[in-house]
Structures are given as structure tokens and as C-alpha cells.
């Protein structure tokens, strides 16, 4: 019996159905080992030796099952995916089997196939090979680099930027792209311009020349000049001076690579990169498409033949080129460039109108692959110039006619920001014609800033810069969203303030490591490792020699030095020039103080230099967005309503009246603000106690309260509509529960074990929010930090900081004396407590 190891159960089931008796197929459930989750797992002092551990309970159970099955097998076939990660999984399994002395007499063999079809699988098994150590080394290098950056740069962020999450090697560069685009948008100054069109029967032509000179984009810069030009066009007679017809050909795009699939799925289907790859994985494991992590555009001969057969079956003869189209990959690393993504069977046509997302993605893959082998589209581009009778005015009309659609009959590639370069179809015109002018019209335009990145355009830009590799793009984008560094708004990435601050910090103190050229160059070095032309230890050594001293140097920086450096770096964003020419740093409260950036325990803010005499403070934000509180409306009395942000979130203020306005409410308009300021609502007196029952808004959600009992409400509608009877029922239900329902026995998560004591590090839910504990020390999770995203090293740092801190004032334990029984011993008891207090303080 031969044992076949693959990654997933779905893949195992498909392959098992092809192989039949004599083979047993087991899934590893992805990677079975990972680096130990603590500092020192990559040791730069010992040639970057790595310490591995079996990832979790399921992996331990699966490794044991694989080892047991291997002992009874004649040979083990490692059939994981045909890329760097797949090679690494096979290497890990081989290492574990060798350590457990479970390698069978027939040994281990590596088999790879680009498509999960019966022929492909059997052909691969007939041609086994050894594990490709160069690909394994490339995996080791990337894993070690990411680890070294994470365990050395992230602690710098935690200490210098409270609330900031970890920084990744490639994610930080992708974040910088998004932040820089945000800066471009903020720095953009809109500019007005006008155009004038002459509208004729059947077409329109634009004014492009006047008085012997070509009109530039901004030559008609205001309405007056545009109106003068329009009037001249309206009064003139025009004749066709020339007609230029040029044939044009448009060729089909090659079949999908990983990045182009992600881009088109985002444009055409509205799918994110991660969802696209998940759906593609399912299609691959079902044997419907070839491997979906690839930077190659070639199709295997059988794929080309299948596509041409589909064209011959479904289209007229003119749509099938005489010779097959051959595409060449532009990938830098040929060893990781596989066949393009295509259907395994072109006879399996997609549904006409698929509704399921996976089916829609399959249809996209099928159409793109078939179109790539179809005939080119034949076009005719026409340019018509018209001149006025006196020769002073020149108009131009452009258009395109599709003479033969070719591949466009099946598939057309979308653009992120489409333009009208193809124009419209023009009527038949020849030189000397005098078409009748129906009217002349002017139109105002305003230049627009560059668009924010969509998932498709960001992936395209990363690929252009050579940053990351196609298989990593989905995880890069997901990481940025998960860390709340960016948000997707109308399918475009918008940088959050936290992301902007992290980028500014990295640009200021780690500029080289977030530069595009350095990151792309490092990718080239990693590719050289996978090609076998470089040693991974040499690449790591070169990186570490500069990176590690820099992290130590930044850690030694004083907080006020960090503040000053970031204040200077972010000045264009925080303190842009004011329209009235006044000093943008002048304090609006006291007048003579200067504003500056400060990094506090709860994050960044802008405050006055005259503190504590002047307590002016505003939130960190782009463009100095809040030079003071935002005015959202007025009360009926005319008193302004301000929307402010405090330590516990947003709130509304009008005079001496304040009420919470949590972020969950979204935008606050004047009507909603006035309604909220009517809170709290007294619903009446409780029937049992005679005390008032109140409905109001909390810092996170609305609630009702009565004598220390609180009950949550569902939303604004219930807040303003709930009556006394419903409130009493809710309060009774709340009162029937334990006052503080602790979850100490059931941790929210177990992050790992303490490297010194071996104690479990648990994330708990407490009365005042989430906290960490090792059984001895408890540490609150700081505000602004996502508890669910805490890593073990972050938790250890918080616990160590709490253990080293002196007892909080007023929290010391009282000495166990009996002053009431023996009053005269009071002084003695006090004397005995002193050493205990000092010892506690020293601890």
C-alpha cells in the first residue's frame, strides 16, 4: 500500500477516487508545524537556526495518524501543492516522519500536479522526484524574515505607539501605498476648466483650436472665456477639413494568473482577494480548474487544444485563429511560475446565468481562457477635423467602429478607471462635407484627485512594484483590514488614523524597510534562493546586520523625542496652511500657545504647549480635521450643538448638557443631535419601589436603568419608543442574572504558555473589559487594542509591565491585625506593616 499525503480533505477525496485500491490518501490539514511562538525561535547567533513545534492539537493528532499509517505503507508520496508552501509542507512532514522513525522501506517521494484530474495525478505518481530544497530554503527565508521583523519591530510599536498593532514586512509597505494615496488626495487642489462642443446631426465635435493655436486643457479656465468661445462656435459655419481612418487590432488578454484573477474578480464580481482565492481553492480541489497560485500565463498543449475545440464548437470559423496563441510569462522566478489558471475540461461549459459565487468565478476562468485563444478584434478608428469658414476655429470628433468582434464576442477585460478613449460611432463623412451645426454648448469640469485604491488596483500596483508575490496578496489585504489600519469604503481602501500614524512612524525611523525599492530588491533575493543561486542564511545575515541595531536604537529613544519627530513628520497633515494665512499651530483656546502632536497612553492627540494652564486638546486626524469641536446643528434656542471626542468616545454637548453619541450611530445630523439631547427619558416610577426608571444612551449602546440595575436596549428606535411595562420586564430579566457574570472558568482564548513558568497565558472577560492572566498576574488589555488579535509575545509584554509596576495607590492590602481588640497595638501594627509595604514596592 502506498500512502499519499495532501493538504485538505476535499483534495484527498478527489484524488482517492482516481487512485482506487492500493493507495491510501490522508490530509495534513495544511501546515503541520510552525515556529515556536516566542522570542528566540529564529536564532541569528547560530546561523538563524529555527525551532519548530507542531501547531495545535488537531495537527498533533493528524501527524500521529500520518506516522502510524506510514509505518504500514510501502512508500509515502508527498502530493502537496506545486508551489513553495506546498514544498514546505512536504518537507515538514518528511522531517516529522524521520524524527518518529516512521519512514517506510520504500522511502519518501515528492509528486506534483498542476490539475487534479485522473490523468494528471497518475502521470505525476509515475514521475516522482525529491523534495526541492531550494524551494524549501526560500520558504525558510521568508518565514524567518517575517518572524524577525515581527518579534523585533512590533515591540517597538507597542512601546512607542500605544494601541498600534504589529508591523509586517510586506504589509507595512502596502499600507504605505494606501497612506501615500490618501496624502495625494488631501494635497490635491481642484482646478476648474471648461470645454466647448459643437453638436451636429449624428455626432458632436470638441473645440480643439482657436485663432491658430491648439487649445490646452486649462486655456478656457472660467465661464466667461468659455462663453465667448461658445458664442463664436455658434455663429460659425463648419466644413470637414480631413477624415483620417486607421485600422486597429485588439488582442485578447492571456489566461489568468493569481493576481489578474483577483483583479478581474474584484471588478466583475465584486469579490475580495481572500474570497476569490477561497472559491478558487474549492474549484481546484474539485478538479475543475488548474492550480490557482501561479504567475505563469502559459497553457499546456492539452489546454490550448481544449480551448480551440470550444471555439470551433461555439463560434463561426472566423473566430478561430489559424495558429494557437502562445503566451510567455514575465515572472522573475521561473521555478514558481506554473501553468495559467484554466478549466481542466473545456467541454464543461459554465452555466448561462450562474448565481453561486463559485460558479460565477468558474465562468470567469472559462471565458478568459477560451477568449485567450480566439481571433483578435478588428477595429476602425476615425478622426474627423472641422474648420470654420474663416479658419479661426477647429473642432475634432473621434470614434471607433468594431468591424469584427473576435474575442470581444465572449470576453472583455475591465479597467479600474474606465475612460472613453474609443469614443462613439461616427456617421460617414468625407472632406468638404458641410454638416449642419445644431447648437454649441459649454461644459464646466473640475479636475479630480487620484482615486483611492480598490483591491484590484492595489494588487496591480504591488505587482508592478515587485512587492510580495501573487500568493501573498490576499493575506496582505486581509491583515491590513484586520488590524484596523485601513477600511473599505465603497470598495476603496481608506487609511485609518491608526494606519497613518504607524506609517509615519515607520517612514521616520525605519524608512529603508518600508521603501519600495528595498522591499522589491529583497523579493528578488528571495527568488534567487528558490532558484538555487543564493543561500538563505546569507540573505538573512545581510538583513539582520542593519535591521537589529536600528530597532535597538529606536527603543532607546525617549518618548518626547518620538513625539517631536512624528510632530515634524506629520506637520503637513496635522497643521496645513490656513486660508487666512494665520499660524496653523496657534492654539484656538488660549491664543499664545502652540499646538503639537503628543502620544499618550490611549493614543495620539494634539494639545497646547501651555498645558496645564490651557487644556485645549483635539483628536489626531488628517488635515487638522478638528481645529475644535464639530458643530452639528443648533437647539431651538439657537445654542450650538457640538460633537466632541473624549477618552470614552464621542459625545454631544450643548451648553451644560452632554450625552453619549457612540460610533455605532454613524453620522450625526442636527435632527438626531437634538433628539439625543432630550435624553435621559424618565419612563415613570417603578411599580415596586416607586423610584424612577430611566432610558438613556451609553458610551456603546442604549440602556434602561433603575436603582443600580441596567438592561441593554436594541437601538435608537427602542430607546425612544420603549414604555414602562417593557422596561420593567427587561430590568427584571437583568436582575435575575448574577450581578457580574464572570467568565473566568472559560477563557476567551488561550494564547500559549509562559516561557519561564510554563503557566497558561489566558485572555479573560472581566467586569471592566478583557484582561490577561498567567494565574499570578492580571493585566488589563489597553484601550484601543483589539483583544482578539493579541499575540503571545504582546501578552507577555503586558504581563511583565504589570508585574513590574508598583501597587496602585489605595490598593494595598490591609495588615491582618486586630486594632479593635487591642487599640494599644495600633502603632505596633503600623510598624509591622512598613517592611511589607517596602517589599511590595521593591517587587
Nearest residue to 182 (alpha-carbon basis) of 496, 481, 489? 496
Which is the catalytic residue, given 139, 284, 291, 411? 291
Length of the chain: 843
CA 807 – CA 813 distance, rounded (Å)? 10
Specify which residues 630 forms β-bridges with: 643
511: number of CA atoms within 13 Å, CB side?
2
Q: What is the largest CA-CA distance in the chain?
A: 122
Total Cβ atoms within 10 A of residue 478: 15
**Cα 97 to Cα 80: distance, rounded to the nearest angstrom:** 16
| Cα–Cα separations (whole angstroms), residue 392 to 225, 238, 386, 707 | 16, 11, 11, 86
User: Which helix (H) or strand (E) is 597 found in, with range?
Assistant: strand 595-600
Strand order in the sheet with 617-619: 595-600, 603-608, 617-619
- Mind giving me the DSSP string for 268-324? II---HHHHHHHHHHHHHTTSB--S--------HHHHHHHHHHHHHHS-GGGS-SS-
User: Exposure of 206 by Cβ count < 10 A (0-12 exposed, 13-18 middle, 19+ buried)?
Assistant: middle
Q: How far apart are CA 529 and CA 342, in angstroms?
A: 29
**In degrees rounded to 5, what are phi and psi of residue 194?**
-125, 150
What is the C-alpha separation between 289 and 448, in angstroms, rounded?
41
Please say if 703 is a catalytic residue.
no
Question: How is the beta sheet containing 640-646 ordered, strand by strand?
Answer: 630-634, 640-646, 649-654, 657-660
Please provide the DSSP assignment of 684-729 as one string: EE-TTT--EEEEEE-SSSEEEEETTEEEE--SHHHHHH--HHHHHH
Measure Cα distances from 622 to 27, 454, 508, 574, 579 in Å.
Answer: 49, 21, 18, 6, 17
First to last CA, the chain: 63
DSSP notation for 184-197: HHHH----EEEEEE
Q: Are 295 and 329 in contact (CB under 8 A)?
A: yes
CA distance 156 to 258: 34
Supply the residues annotated as catalytic: 291
Amino acid at each position: 500500500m502506498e500512502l499519499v499525503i495532501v493538504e485538505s480533505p476535499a483534495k484527498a477525496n478527489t484524488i482517492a477516487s482516481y487512485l482506487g485500491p492500493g493507495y491510501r490518501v490522508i490530509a495534513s490539514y495544511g501546515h503541520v508545524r510552525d515556529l515556536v511562538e516566542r522570542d528566540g525561535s529564529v536564532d541569528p547567533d547560530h546561523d538563524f537556526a529555527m525551532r519548530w513545534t507542531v501547531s495545535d492539537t488537531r495537527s498533533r493528532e493528524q501527524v500521529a495518524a500520518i506516522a502510524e499509517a506510514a509505518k504500514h505503507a510501502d512508500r509515502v508520496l508527498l502530493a502537496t501543492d506545486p508551489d513553495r508552501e506546498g514544498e514546505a509542507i512536504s518537507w515538514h512532514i518528511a522531517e516529522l516522519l524521520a524524527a518518529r522513525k516512521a519512514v517506510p522501506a520504500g522511502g519518501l517521494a515528492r509528486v506534483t500536479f498542476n490539475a487534479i484530474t485522473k490523468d494528471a495525478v497518475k502521470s505525476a505518481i509515475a514521475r516522482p522526484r525529491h523534495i526541492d530544497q531550494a524551494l524549501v530554503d526560500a520558504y525558510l527565508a521568508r518565514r524567518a524574515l517575517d518572524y524577525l521583523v515581527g518579534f523585533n519591530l512590533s515591540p517597538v510599536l507597542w512601546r512607542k505607539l500605544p494601541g498600534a498593532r504589529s508591523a509586517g514586512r510586506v504589509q507595512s509597505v502596502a499600507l504605505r501605498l494606501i497612506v501615500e494615496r490618501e496624502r495625494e488626495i488631501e494635497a490635491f487642489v481642484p482646478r476648474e476648466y471648461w470645454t466647448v462642443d459643437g453638436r451636429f446631426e449624428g455626432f458632436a465635435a470638441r473645440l480643439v483650436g482657436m485663432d491658430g493655436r491648439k487649445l490646452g486643457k486649462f486655456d478656457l479656465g472660467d465661464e466667461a472665456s468659455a462663453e465667448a468661445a461658445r458664442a463664436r462656435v455658434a455663429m460659425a459655419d463648419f466644413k470637414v477639413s480631413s477624415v483620417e481612418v486607421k485600422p486597429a487590432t485588439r488582442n485578447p488578454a492571456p489566461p489568468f494568473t493569481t493576481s489578474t484573477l483577483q483583479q478581474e474578480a474584484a471588478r466583475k464580481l465584486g469579490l475580495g482577494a481572500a474570497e476569490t482565492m477561497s472559491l478558487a481553492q474549492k474549484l481546484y480541489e474539485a478538479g475543475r480548474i488548474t492550480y490557482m497560485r501561479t504567475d505563469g500565463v502559459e497553457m499546456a498543449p492539452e489546454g490550448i487544444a481544449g480551448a480551440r475545440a470550444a471555439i470551433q464548437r461555439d463560434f463561426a470559423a472566423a473566430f478561430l485563429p489559424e495558429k494557437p496563441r502562445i503566451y510567455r510569462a514575465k515572472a522573475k522566478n521561473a521555478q514558481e511560475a506554473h501553468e495559467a489558471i484554466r478549466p481542466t475540461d473545456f467541454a464543461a461549459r459554465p452555466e448561462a446565468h450562474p448565481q453561486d459565487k463559485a460558479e460565477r468565478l468558474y465562468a470567469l476562468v472559462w471565458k478568459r481562457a477560451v477568449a485567450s485563444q480566439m481571433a483578435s478584434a478588428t477595429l476602425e478608428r476615425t478622426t474627423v477635423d472641422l474648420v470654420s469658414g474663416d479658419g479661426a476655429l477647429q473642432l475634432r470628433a473621434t470614434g471607433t467602429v468594431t468591424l469584427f468582434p473576435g474575442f470581444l464576442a465572449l470576453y472583455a477585460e475591465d479597467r479600474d478607471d474606465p475612460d472613453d478613449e474609443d469614443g462613439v460611432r461616427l456617421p460617414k463623412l468625407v472632406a468638404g462635407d458641410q454638416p449642419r451645426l445644431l447648437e454649441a454648448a459649454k461644459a464646466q469640469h473640475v479636475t479630480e484627485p487620484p482615486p483611492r485604491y480598490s483591491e484590484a488596483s492595489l494588487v496591480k500596483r504591488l505587482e508592478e512594484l515587485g512587492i510580495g508575490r501573487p500568493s501573498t496578496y490576499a493575506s496582505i489585504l486581509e491583515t491590513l483590514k484586520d488590524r484596523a489600519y485601513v477600511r473599505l469604503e465603497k470598495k476603496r481602501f481608506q487609511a485609518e488614523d491608526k494606519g497613518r500614524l504607524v506609517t509615519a512612524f515607520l517612514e521616520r525611523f525605519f524608512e529603508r524597510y518600508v521603501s519600495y525599492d528595498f522591499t522589491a530588491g529583497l523579493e528578488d533575493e528571495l527568488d534567487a534562493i528558490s532558484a538555487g543561486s543564493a543561500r538563505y542564511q546569507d540573505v538573512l545575515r545581510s538583513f539582520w546586520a542593519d535591521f537589529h541595531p536600528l530597532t535597538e536604537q529606536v527603543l532607546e529613544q525617549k518618548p518626547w523625542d518620538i513625539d517631536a519627530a512624528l510632530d515634524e513628520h506629520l506637520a503637513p497633515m496635522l497643521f496645513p496652511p490656513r486660508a487666512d494665512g494665520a499660524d496653523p499651530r496657534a492654539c484656538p483656546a488660549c491664543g499664545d500657545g502652540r499646538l503639537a502632536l503628543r502620544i499618550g497612553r490611549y493614543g495620539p492627540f494634539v494639545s497646547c504647549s501651555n498645558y496645564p494652564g490651557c487644556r485645549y486638546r483635539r483628536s489626531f486626524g488628517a488635515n487638522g480635521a478638528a481645529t475644535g469641536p464639530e458643530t452639528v446643528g443648533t437647539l431651538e434656542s439657537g445654542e450650538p450643538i457640538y460633537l466632541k471626542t473624549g477618552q470614552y468616545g464621542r459625545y454631544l454637548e450643548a451648553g451644560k448638557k452632554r450625552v453619549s453619541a457612540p460610533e455605532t450611530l454613524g453620522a450625526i445630523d442636527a435632527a438626531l443631535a437634538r433628539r439625543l439631547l432630550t435624553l435621559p427619558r424618565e419612563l415613570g416610577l417603578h411599580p415596586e419601589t416607586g423610584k424612577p426608571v430611566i432610558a438613556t444612551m451609553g458610551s456603546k449602546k442604549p440602556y434602561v436603568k433603575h436603582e443600580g440595575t441596567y438592561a441593554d436596549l436594541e437601538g435608537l428606535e427602542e430607546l425612544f419608543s420603549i414604555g414602562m411595562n417593557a422596561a420593567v420586564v427587561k430590568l427584571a430579566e437583568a436582575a435575575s442574572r448574577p450581578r457580574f457574570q464572570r467568565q473566568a472558568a472559560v477563557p476567551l482564548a488561550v494564547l500559549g504558555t509562559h516561557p519561564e513558568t510554563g503557566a497558561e497565558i489566558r485572555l479573560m472577560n472581566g467586569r471592566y473589559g478583557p484582561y490577561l492572566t498567567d494565574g499570578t498576574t492580571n493585566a488589563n488589555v489597553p484601550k484601543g487594542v483589539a483583544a482578539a488579535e493579541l499575540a503571545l509575545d504582546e501578552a507577555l509584554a503586558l504581563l511583565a509591565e504589570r508585574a513590574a509596576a508598583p501597587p496602585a495607590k489605595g490598593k494595598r492590602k490591609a495588615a491582618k491585625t486586630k486594632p479593635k481588640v487591642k487599640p494599644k497595638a495600633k502603632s505596633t501594627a503600623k510598624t509591622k506593616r512598613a517592611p511589607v509595604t517596602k517589599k511590595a514596592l521593591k517587587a
